[in-house]
Chain A
Amino acid sequence: MSIENLIWLIPLPPLLAFFLIILFTNKWKGLSHTIGVSAAGLSFIGSMIVFFSAIQVEHFGEGEHIFASSINWLPTGEGFFKIGVLIDPFSAVTLFFVAITIFMIFLYSVGYQNYGQPKGDHDHMGLPPHGATIVDEHGHSHAVLSVEPMYSRFFAFLGLFAFGMYTLVVSDNLLTLFVGWEIMGLCSYLLIGFWFAKPSARDAAIKAFLTTRVGDVFMLLGLAYLYSVTGTLNYRDIFYNAEVMHHLSETITPIFGLSTAGLIGLLLFIGTIGKSAQWPLHIWLPDAMEGPTPVSAMIHAATMVSAGVYMAIRIFPLLTAGWHGHELTPTMTFVAFIGTFTAIFSATIALAQNDIKKVLAYSTISQLGFMIAAVGIGAYVAAAFHLITHAFFKALLFLGSGSVIHGMEHGILHTGNHSVDPQDMKNMGGLRKKMPITFWTFLIGGLALSGFPVVTAGFWSKDEILADAFGHGQWVVFITLAVAAFMTAFYTMRQITMTFLGEPRTKEAEHAHETTWTMTTPLVVLAFFAVTFGWIGVPEHFPGLGGVLPNWFHHFVSGTLLEHPESVEFSWIPLGTSLFVALGGLTLGWFVYKDYKAGQPDPLENPFGKLYPVLQNKWYFDELYSATFYRLADWISGVFTPFMDQVVIDGILHFFARSTGVIGNTLRDKFDKPIINELIGDGTAALVQKGQVLKYLQTGRVQSYLFGTVSAFIVIAALLYYFF
């Protein structure tokens, strides 16, 4: 089988698994997860084959050195709209991390949803499992974790989600990218609201769906605009075609005086803002933590939010059209502003969160901001690099937090005190002894997130972004990102200290328990990549190490663009800064939180004063939106309903109702009663009697009428067929 055919097949196994599970194997939990995990495994193998064949091709990405194939799909009058698959350097590396993280998350879900545990005593669909009681051979009864009631459905949704992501990565045009994008939007709605009987989960699902929809509308506008200008949506035909790009960047649109490329890029970028939860559309992502933890890892680390950044990097030539390496274009300024602002804004919120998953959620938003900022200042390779390293360590951190929550739930079932929140870090502490594997992997992930020097992947990618910002002379971006990186290191260490170090602050934390192998294996695998993946992107002029390891990542990914981006010159200032912020933040975080005891106020509350509640309440953005947009919509419908609905539409109906009433009354009084009734007399009695019998035909049930209609239709059809 040729590589091109294999690429077509990569997204299919998860889709097949989705249909198999939904239609046939819903009842058998073990069979369902076998199908799900092996489908993810098949896609994983396919992706690895594609990736490793791609890196063996010389000058991969240039000219014809790509894997591509396409078919005619939609007749469009003169020609066809083609869809197809394309693997160029950037999608090859994306495929690499997507395949690994998705496969790991599938495996992890088996343990997380408690496969092999007994059915819960009070569990029902749409609620998280509450635990079951078992009686051992000595007659003691134990509370244990119980299996998720909708276990099979979970794997089906994960499968569909994986299909969406693979479609997005392998597609060669923006339309099929958009299709995958929307499939993931649907799946994130389904999975965030997986425990739909919880009102908070239901609200979060709706919020996520509607918020991302705002971005998607603009993105669709951008797609339509791009298609109407160029007549194609294929990446290579647009971004790799100097003529088209020149045309797009030279024509000026009436809106803000942007070039056509700039405006289209802006519209598409708003889609990214929604999908990657950038300010001001970031509000959905923290609420999305209502979903099961593997979903948080899937949506908020490996796939969906990465998809937004993936597209931003894809449309890099559009965003940077007209840029010659010095002053930023208006579009780039906008992108850089959104990214930088989001990075620091959500880092401040993460400082004051106590929910272990919420901290990670805000840190994800912040890290995505880093990538977007990198795109905005023209640091193509740095953005791609950080996208991939972040996917590894953030998936690791999310899965690790799920493992922690699981361990805590174990402790809660042991003590029977269900008022303890298993996600609140204030209730944890000292878990390193109880959950060693989780601790060490979480530590690796946390250090990578903080950018711990030299060893971890996060250091190399974040350092590259800072170096690019410095090298391009973007001082504001550089300083803001450095401060954000400092906060990142601080809150990461705060999280690690509160969760794992010190002594247990509750009985539940004392009885926490290491999780099963299906959950710890993915942690170990991802931890491996969270460390090693950085070493393939060591800058050439890095003191000591540069040149020892070739900067493979830069050379490989540069091939995606027509003009290969130059790597920035080495300077001590950004390196010193990133060393300082990482180590300084980590140390400070440890010092502030190492003596944190149960019941104490958070050590930051005093120094931050009035700012602390503001941070804890996320700068009141939810409140702001409900006071403005929600109130506005409410007000419009409040005005519209009484006027349009009740006056105009109901008025028309009432007019007809009254006029027929008047006509009927007049006829009855003037014609029916005096003339007809007088003539016929009492002759209607028989009719009334028949009506009494026949009235039972009118059951009021719509389906019995439909049944009558269908039967009558069949009889008439049979008669017609017989006689003609």
Chain B
Amino acid sequence: MIPLAWYLYLSAALFSIGVFGVLARRNAIAILLGIELMLNAVNVNLVAFWRYGDPTVMSGQVFAVIVFAVAAAEVAVGLSLVYSIYRRRRTVIADELDLMKW
């Protein structure tokens, strides 16, 4: 069986890629993608710990499913926000969307 640590490495790598995407990409959609990666990294962790911990307790899987559902809703809201921002401002570059500053 594959050791637990491997899943954690995978998850950490995914999470780091996600964080990098969120911080470094300028395109708002790419930032959303980064957030998705981070959420799924968490899911990998949850499911891995569930499997290697006590598989009869389903809470790890349930938690992951809830994360999916929330992530789906978040994408729907996030994408429609990006879309309506694009309609108004003709840009999805995060740096240019700074109306809410001092």
Contact = CB atoms under 8 A, between A and B. Distances in A.
A698 B23 contact: no
Given A707-B23, A710-B19, A710-B23, A702 B97 contact: yes
A696 interface: yes
A706 B23 CA distance: 7
A695 B101 CA distance: 8
A159 to B, nearest CB: 22
Interface centre among B19, B98, B99 (most CB of A within 10 A): B98
B94 interface: yes
A270 B86 CA distance: 36
A703 interface: yes
B101 A698 contact: yes
B72 to A, nearest CB: 17
A701 B31 CA distance: 13
Interface in B7-42: 19, 22-23, 31
A270 B26 CA distance: 42
Interface string A683-712: 000000000000110111111001100100
B98 A703 contact: no
A703 B31 CA distance: 9
Contacts of B101: 698-701
Q: Mostly helix, strand, loop or mixed at chain A's interface?
A: helix
Contacts of A703: 22-23, 31, 94-95
Nearest to B34: A706
B18 to A, nearest CB: 11
Nearest to B96: A701
Interface in B57-102: 94-95, 97-102
B94 A700 contact: no
Contacts, number: 31
A701 B95 contact: yes
B97 A696 contact: no
A367 to B, nearest CB: 39
Contacts of B99: 700
Interface residues of B, number: 12
A395 to B, nearest CB: 36
Contacts of B19: 710
A699 B22 contact: no
A695 B102 contact: yes
B42 to A, nearest CB: 14
Contacts of A695: 102
Interface string A624-663: 0000000000000000000000000000000000000000
A707 B95 CA distance: 13
B100 A700 contact: yes
Contacts of A710: 19, 23
B3 to A, nearest CB: 21
Given A695-B102, A696-B102, A702 B31 contact: yes
A696 B19 CA distance: 24
Contacts of A699: 98, 101
Interface centre among B31, B94, B95, B102 (most CB of A within 10 A): B102
A701 B94 contact: yes
B73 to A, nearest CB: 16
A523 to B, nearest CB: 41
A128 to B, nearest CB: 25
A700 B98 contact: yes
B98 to A, nearest CB: 3
A706 B18 CA distance: 12
A689 B99 CA distance: 23
A710 to B, nearest CB: 6
A84 to B, nearest CB: 23
B77 to A, nearest CB: 13
B98 A706 contact: no
B47 to A, nearest CB: 13
Contacts of B100: 698, 700
Contacts of A707: 23
B17 to A, nearest CB: 13
A698 B100 CA distance: 8
Contacts of B94: 701-703
B14 to A, nearest CB: 16
Contacts of A696: 102
A701 B93 CA distance: 10
A509 to B, nearest CB: 43
A75 to B, nearest CB: 11
B102 A701 contact: no
Contacts of A702: 31, 94, 97
A702 B25 CA distance: 12
A700 B23 CA distance: 15
Interface string A436-461: 00000000000000000000000000
Nearest to B101: A700
A702 B22 CA distance: 10
A710 B97 CA distance: 20
Contacts of A700: 97-102
Given A702-B94, A710-B19, 12 more contacts: A698-B101, A698-B102, A699-B98, A699-B101, A700-B100, A700-B101, A700-B102, A701-B101, A702-B97, A703-B95, A707-B23, A710-B23
25 contacts: A695-B102, A696-B102, A698-B101, A698-B102, A699-B98, A699-B101, A700-B97, A700-B98, A700-B99, A700-B100, A700-B101, A700-B102, A701-B95, A701-B97, A701-B98, A702-B31, A702-B94, A702-B97, A703-B23, A703-B94, A703-B95, A706-B22, A706-B23, A707-B23, A710-B23
List of 5 A-B pairs having minimum Cβ-Cβ separation, nearest first:
A700-B101, A700-B98, A695-B102, A700-B100, A701-B98
